[in-house]
Structure 1
Amino acid sequence: MSGRLGTLTALYVTQYLGIGFITVGLTAILRDGGTSLDTLALLQVVGLIWPIKFLWAPILDRYGSRHRGHYRSWLLVLQGGMVLALLALLPFSRPAAELGPVIAVCAAYVLLSATQDIAVDAVAVRMLAETARGTGNGIQVAASYLGNLLGGGACVLVYDRYGWLPAVGLLAALTAVGLLVVWRFREPARADRVARVGAAYRALLSVFGQPGCRWWTFGVVPLVYVGAGMAYALVTPALVDAGWSLGRIGVVTGVVTSAPAILAGLAAGLGIGRFGRSGMLVTGGAALALSTVGLLPLMYGRAPLGGTIVALCCFLAAYTVANVVLYTVNMDYSRPAVGGTDFTVLSSFGLICSFVAASIGLAAADRLGYPVVAVSSIVLVAAGVALGVAHRRRFPRPTRPGGAPVDDLARPAVGGLANAS
């Protein structure tokens, strides 16, 4: 199991390196080069590829090499493509002056990274036993912050000291580590290959037919994500209103808060194994409520450096704990034969909720003020946690149609989705 978790760690971290660089590091570099905020907003649009990746997830579940490993064959191509996409940025030593090609390369990288995430999630669904899913998803969430820290922080420091070529070269070299990991990885043989691509696409909807899945996906997930997302969406504008510079905001929200979030993700994964999904959901929800209260001085316009950093670190750490629980239950509902599709569609819905939450939070704050929205977010999170605990009591262990437990990886999925090969 330690070898499997090590493989997943390397793949999750390397896929987020470029994402962190694009969303944080490259944004800072371009802004330093005089790029307008309106133009920088276009760079952030490429991130919308991630919430819609479920549209092509069934293709990865259906097609794959028997000889090289079903998902490993995808990972070899995608991980190598990510390295090549980063290397393609090397000629643009003045990215602000060549913005069109730079954004095109970044969009290609994000597409490759999002697709790689489908394959890695599918591997995780198949390899992780029920007791290890919390740890696996803790690693996944922590990896996103570590990638942000390295890609958005370390590479910018290298750029500031040594220039564009060393910074991008370092990013490509770190990403290439994942390619070596994939090359050494030996994927277990599949006995539940999906018979037709149409059957794989039907999994986009059939996943919700499992007992309790609709309750979880359309009840618990939106309440928690919208509640937490509304509060987090207020942070940046509130910091600006409080007089913080854009540089300080970027460093604090993009780098400083990542370290405790990484630790929180790993701790939440271990905590799920010890205290269960419900226990960690309550812990994360309570921490989110308390940390949102800690943000209220900021919402009223008071933002001393030390106290604000502590409040933001606590909030992001609490959100990370809740996020790990949500991801773990999503994996519980992911069937091995279509693990890439199931986990992707369930997690994509959470991403969509986060995008919606940002819009709702900012629009409501414009009319009602920051404090009212922050308190409302606490109510939504509390409702989501209460609904989640009720869900876990009624459906303590998600099962596939027919009664087979979701962690029974030796059996093919039922309901016409799989065909022994």
Structure 2
Amino acid sequence: MRGRLGTLTALYVTQYLGVGFITVGLTAILRDGGTSLDTLALLQIVGLIWPIKFLWAPILDRYGSRHRGHYRSWLLVLQSALVLALLALLPFTDPANALGPIVAICAAYVFFSATQDIAVDAVAVRMLAESARGTGNGIQVAASYLGNLLGGGACVLVYDRFGWAPAIGLLVAMTAVGLLVVWRFREPPRTDRVARVGTAYRALLSVFSQPGCRWWTFGVVPLVYVGAGMAYSLVTPALVDAGWSLGRIGVVTGVVTSAPAIVAGLVAGFGVSRFGRSGVLVVGGVTLTVSTLLLLPLMNGRAPVAGTVAALCCFMVAYTVANVVLYTVNMDYSRPDTGGTDFTVLSSFGLICSFVAGSVGLAAAARVGYPAVAVAAIVLVAAGVALGLAHQRRFPHQPGPVADPAAAQPTTEAVRAVA
């Protein structure tokens, strides 16, 4: 757990554990207990807290303890809150018959997790040197899949074999590792100016005044996210139409595809540092195009298990690679004194685009069919990559000031710290 990237890895993974459990594991457990699909859909609504977290991000940039560390003081509270929220689930051994309290606790957990993400992102903005940002964001994206794999996969297996209490106990124990990491973490003292709350809230808009930021945020990001999101929104209904069981769909889309995505996130992070943002963006775009084409048999109703799983894994790898680049450029545009606000508002716009893409993709498929929407998705992604390359040529990344001078170290040093 030594080193900056080691700390970020632990915090990102532990914040996603409960999210993976709620969106994948708990959904499967409740469905097994007879909960209707309509009710399960309502549970997923708590995920909408994440895209709107920019509304309170400026508060974290403004207030914090100089004695305990500006963002570390938030992390101590929030990581503890994550553990307590999970402990609150323990008494409900029959969750299908306690949906009210379960949903309320899950909503609280997602709020704490989203807020913790603001603080961790702000720490990453301040501590990571320019050469380490690709690696840091690769870890962040990979951590979301690892959390999904552990929280949504491992905990369900424990539940199936040993019951509710051991499953929640495992989730609590894994999340508590993050609390230990925060306790040992020593945040570098803030030498930059702490923004006033009004300044921090104005940063929600002033971040877009930076050269090329509007081009990137309102041009490149929507095209890539909407294109990829449209294609992925078709996967589950297409698998159902092809005759796959809900159990098989859950295992493949929630667990099996997470493993290669974890590796892809880490590799893409190193790739950004080695080959630059443009090079990895091209790789992600080309791979997304190829993988979407590989999904066309599924879109036409043919879904052999081996071929379909391979195509889905390829798609998730491609989406992960593109995601790492998008997050890295978002961090490039994040200023040290308002890092939590800047990174959050930029990444939240991408989340909103993803939510919109799902609705647009399914609505369009109802009218023109799955294959036509998949082709349209390829066109959007290709346009986004082309626009992204033009953006990087016109606005090449210029290393900005590092809030923590000690962060100016080669990526290899940071990677060695993880080991």
Shorter-chain TM range is: over 0.9
What CA distance in whole angstroms lies between the structure 1 residues aligned with 2:242 and 2:115? 39
Residue of structure 2 in register with 1:148 after alignment: 148
Q: Quick check: 2:223–2:384 contact (8 Å CA) kept in 1? A: yes
- Paired residue type of 1:51: P
Question: In the aligned structure 2, how far is the partner of 1:407 from the partner of 1:388?
Answer: 24
Q: Which residue of 2 aligns with 1:391?
A: 391
**What is the letter of the counterpart of residue 94 of structure 1?**
D
- Please say if residues 25 and 155 of structure 1, whose CA atoms lie closer than 8 Å, have aligned partners that are also in contact: yes
How much has 1:169 moved relative to structure 2? 0.6
Whether contact under 8 Å (2:126, 2:404) holds in the other structure is no
Query: How well do the aligned residues superpose, as a CA RMSD in angstroms?
Result: 1.1
Task: Say if 2:337 is the partner of 1:343.
Answer: no
Give the drift of 1:194: 2.7
**Which whole-Å CA distance do the structure 2 matches of 1:2 and 1:179 have between them?**
15
Deviation at 1:69, TM superposition (A): 0.2
1:318 counterpart letter in structure 2? A
Provide the rounded CA distance (Å) in 2 between the counterparts of 1:230 and 1:195: 38
How far did 1:255 drift? 0.2
- Per-residue displacement from partner, 1:61-111 (whole Å, max 9, x unpaired)? 000001000000000000000000000000000000000000000000000
CA distance in 2 between counterparts of 1:194 and 1:217 reads: 25
1:298 is aligned to 298
- Separation in 1, partners of 2:25, 2:210: 41
**After superposition, where does 1:12-411 map in structure 2 within 5 Å?**
12-398=12-398, 405-409=399-403
State the alpha-carbon separation in 2 of the partners of residues 174 and 249 from structure 1. 26
- Asked if the contact 1:134/1:328 (under 8 Å) is kept, the reply is yes
The letter of the residue matching 1:91 is P
Contact 2:188–2:404 under 8 Å retained in 1:
no
Q: Is the 1:71–1:119 Cα contact (8 Å) retained in structure 2?
A: yes
CA distance in 2, matches of 1:38, 1:171: 26
Task: Measure, in 1, the Cα distance between the counterparts of 2:19 and 2:237.
Answer: 23
Q: Which residue of 2 aligns with 1:415?
A: none
Distance, in Å, in 2 between the alignment partners of 1:410 and 1:344 is: 20
The Cα of 1:196 is off from its aligned counterpart by: 1.8
Deviation at 1:195, TM superposition (A): 4.1
| Aligned amino acid, residue 237 of structure 2 | P
The residue identity in structure 2 corresponding to 1:157 is L
- CA shift for structure 1 position 20: 0.2
Counterparts in 2 of 1:95 and 1:410: CA distance versus 1, 3 Å: closer
Q: For 1:103 and 1:169, how far apart are their aligned partners in 2? A: 19
* C-alpha distance in 1 between matches for 2:250 and 2:306: 16
Distance 1:335 1:209 in 2: 12
Shift of 1:406: 2.3
Could you tell me how far apart the structure 2 residues matched to 1:327 and 1:119 are? 16
Which amino acid counterpart does residue 57 of structure 1 have in structure 2?
Answer: A
Deviation at 1:2, TM superposition (A): 6.7
Between the aligned partners of 1:335 and 1:7, the Cα distance in structure 2 is 21
Q: Which amino acid in structure 2 is aligned with residue 269 of structure 1?
A: G
Query: What secondary structure does 2:403 align onto?
Result: coil
Q: Partners of 1:20 and 1:332 in 2: how far apart?
A: 28
TM-score (norm 1): 0.95
CA shift for structure 1 position 323? 0.2
Shift of 1:30: 0.2
Q: Deviations over 1:328-370 (max 9, x none)?
A: 0000000000000000000000000000000110000000000
Matched-pair contact (CA < 8 Å) for 2:239–2:249: yes
What is the identity, as a one-letter code, of the residue corresponding to 1:23? T
**1:410 positional shift:** 5.6
**Matches of 2:245 and 2:148 in 1, distance apart?**
20
Distance 1:410 1:22, change over 3 A: closer
CA gap 1:181/1:365 in 2 versus in 1, 3 angstroms: same
Give the match's secondary structure for 1:93: coil
Match of 1:373, as an amino acid?
V
**Deviation string for 1:248-279 (max 9, x for gaps)?**
00000000000000000000000011110000
Q: Quote the offset at 1:191 in angstroms.
A: 1.8
Give the match's secondary structure for 2:325: helix
Q: 2:412 maps to which residue?
A: none
Question: Does the residue aligned with 2:3 lie in a helix, a strand or coil?
Answer: helix
Aligned mates of 2:9, 2:404 — CA distance in 1: 24
Corresponding residue number in structure 1 for 2:410:
none
Q: Is the 8 A contact 1:82 1:109 kept in 2?
A: yes
1-structure distance, mates of 2:326, 2:145: 17
2:49 alignment partner AA: I
| Counterparts of 1:281 and 1:41, CA distance in 2 | 33
TM-score by structure 2 length?
0.96
Give 1:397 deviation, angstroms: 1.2
Separation in 2 of the partners of 1:26 and 1:408? 41
List gaps (5 residues or longer) in structure 1: 399-404, 412-421
Matches of 1:181 and 1:196 in 2, distance apart?
29
Give, in whole Å, the separation in 2 of the partners of 1:100 and 1:214: 42
Measure the CA separation in 2 of the matches of 1:182 and 1:29: 31
Residues 301-320 of structure 1 deviation map (CA, whole Å, 9 limit, x = unaligned): 00000000000000000000
> Tell me, what secondary structure is at the counterpart of 1:182?
helix
